[in-house]
Homo-oligomer: A and B are copies of this chain.
Amino acid sequence: MTKTAAIVGGGVIGGGWAARFMLNGWDVKIFDPDPQSQRKIDAVLENARCALPGLTDIALPEEGSITHCDTIAKAVSGGELIVEAVPERLDVKHKVYAEIEAANTTGIIASSTSGIMPSDLQSELKNPERLIVAHPFNPVYLLPLVELVAGKQTDEAHIEKAKEIYSSIGMHPLHCRVEIEGFLSDRLQEALWREALWLLKDGVATAEELDAAIAYGPGLRWAQMGTMQTFHLAGGEGGMRAMLAMFGPCLKWPWTKLMDVPELTDDFVEMVGDQCDTQSGALTPRDLERVRDTNLVGIIRSLRGGDWGAGATAKSHDAQLAKLNGLNVKAADLDEHQQIVTSKRTVPLDWVDYNGHMNEARYLQAFGDATDKFMEMIGCDSDYIATGGSYFTAETHIRHIDEVRAGARIDVKTQVLLGEGKKMHLWHEMYEGTRLLATAEHMLIHVSLETRRPSNPSGAIETALTRIAQGHAALPRPEAAGASVGVRA
């Protein structure tokens, strides 16, 4: 059943929310008084469509709809979740909440505020128990973190419900258990930003140098571990205790400025703005967004390998999406009379090469993942592999029929050409819609992971594989099966 999210405020954050919900199958109704709002949100959607679906190895559901409304009342009417993403002024937010309450009395009101306490936000509401803070991070359609904070009058059941909702759209809800201004993430970010502004103000470094001081060093650690676990490792075998003994004293040295803030004079703002423009060279903010998104997809996907951090979030989203896409089929339920759908996914941004299309190696990655899924379906899953048996690919033949680009939805269908004893001979076809992109023919051999030599699969696997192979023997044999490079079958 389609769910509906209302979004009040369509700036960078509201637009990002719209994209994330819509791409996860929610209908979205949005209100923003800016006449440019629709154009700006369309630009966000365009970026998000190429980027977000590539985080998971399984396709997102069908897109929901986006409706632009000309009043708050129309946007929030009937919504079960009302996202507030208006400017960070308490008086503005209170006014918006009053309009929301006039049109919707039951939906969760989730403020995107970066730091205002939910108790202050809910103070004038008629139904204050339904207000929570759900603080996201830009770009909202890619970064998994959302901080959930309850105010004094919030019903904790809404926090639990919110955890479910945000997890279902691929996010990592972090419940901030103690209500403080700035919550957790912005406290940490703000401390760093304030210090950076001082260094600019004092002429110690430029914006570009300050960014280099992060991006080539600590930032690469922070993408996977926070500052605590990072320093736990920097302490060597003694861990955090050794680190505190070593660097604790430095914390008392004047290594940072006081908590004062540089006066944001026009001159200072211009200087910082100029430095940011210089740093970005010929790249506009829109160009930079594309760069950033491609990098983020690459970074998050790289964390999938170890099932770590944001990569683990994406993988657990896969598990939900596999069900939605009907890819969680048990061996006994496989229909041996037709090709088996073993993959439904979207080409990630970082899979494209200098020729402007999906790189050849990524075809094999997608086919390899389809093979893994088929193995899982017939019982050769991670539990089985942990017992010491698996399949190794001995040979592969790929034919590239047509090109495909980032953001395209691709499906793989699989036919068993032979399944007998240790051998599994597979035929994959990759499509975008009805357009055939590529075929792959693989010979796999079952092995013992201990001896690394061929061995027989379990009886259950052999039974399942044999049944499919026998059924598929009745299907037309693919014309190109058995072909060699350069020879048309």
Asked whether B251 lies within 8 Å of A360 as measured between CB atoms, the reply is no
Known: A190-B250, A205-B178, A273-B240. A147 touches B213 (CB 8 A): yes
Asked whether A215 lies within 8 Å of B250 as measured between CB atoms, the reply is no
Which residues of B are found within 8 Å of A442, using beta-carbon distances? 485
Query: How far, in whole Å, are A202 and B449 apart by their CA atoms in the complex?
Result: 50
Asked whether A483 lies within 8 Å of B484 as measured between CB atoms, the reply is yes
User: Taking the complex as formed, is A246 at the interface, i.e. its CB lies under 8 A from any CB of chain B?
Assistant: yes
Determine how close the nearest CB of chain B comes to the CB of A48; give it in whole angstroms: 14
Determine how close the nearest CB of chain B comes to the CB of A212; give it in whole angstroms: 5
Asked whether B193 lies within 8 Å of A143 as measured between CB atoms, the reply is no
A232 contacts which of B216, B231, B288 (Cβ < 8 Å)? B288
Asked whether B305 lies within 8 Å of A302 as measured between CB atoms, the reply is no
Asked whether B276 lies within 8 Å of A229 as measured between CB atoms, the reply is yes
Asked whether B449 lies within 8 Å of A197 as measured between CB atoms, the reply is no
Which residues of B are found within 8 Å of A487, using beta-carbon distances? 482
User: Taking the complex as formed, is A112 at the interface, i.e. its CB lies under 8 A from any CB of chain B?
Assistant: no
Range, interface on chain A: 35 or more
* A-B contacts, 20 listed (Cβ < 8 Å): A115-B253, A178-B204, A184-B199, A186-B255, A191-B194, A192-B192, A193-B231, A193-B251, A196-B228, A220-B310, A244-B269, A245-B269, A248-B269, A256-B259, A355-B385, A361-B365, A361-B368, A363-B364, A395-B400, A442-B485
User: Taking the complex as formed, is A165 at the interface, i.e. its CB lies under 8 A from any CB of chain B?
Assistant: no
Which residues of B are found within 8 Å of A233, using beta-carbon distances? 138, 285, 288-289, 292
User: Taking the complex as formed, is A188 at the interface, i.e. its CB lies under 8 A from any CB of chain B?
Assistant: yes
Known: A190-B251, A295-B303, A400-B393. A213 touches B226 (CB 8 A): yes
Chain A 447-489 residues near chain B, CB threshold 8 A: 449, 452, 482-487
Query: How far, in whole Å, are A350 and B303 apart by their CA atoms in the complex?
Result: 9
Determine how close the nearest CB of chain B comes to the CB of A30; give it in whole angstroms: 16
Asked whether A241 lies within 8 Å of B273 as measured between CB atoms, the reply is yes
Determine how close the nearest CB of chain B comes to the CB of A421; give it in whole angstroms: 14
Which residues of B are found within 8 Å of A246, using beta-carbon distances? 87-88
User: Taking the complex as formed, is A334 at the interface, i.e. its CB lies under 8 A from any CB of chain B?
Assistant: no
A210 contacts which of B188, B208, B403 (Cβ < 8 Å)? B188
Known: A233-B285, A299-B224, A484-B484. A192 touches B186 (CB 8 A): no
Asked whether B239 lies within 8 Å of A277 as measured between CB atoms, the reply is yes
Asked whether A228 lies within 8 Å of B276 as measured between CB atoms, the reply is yes
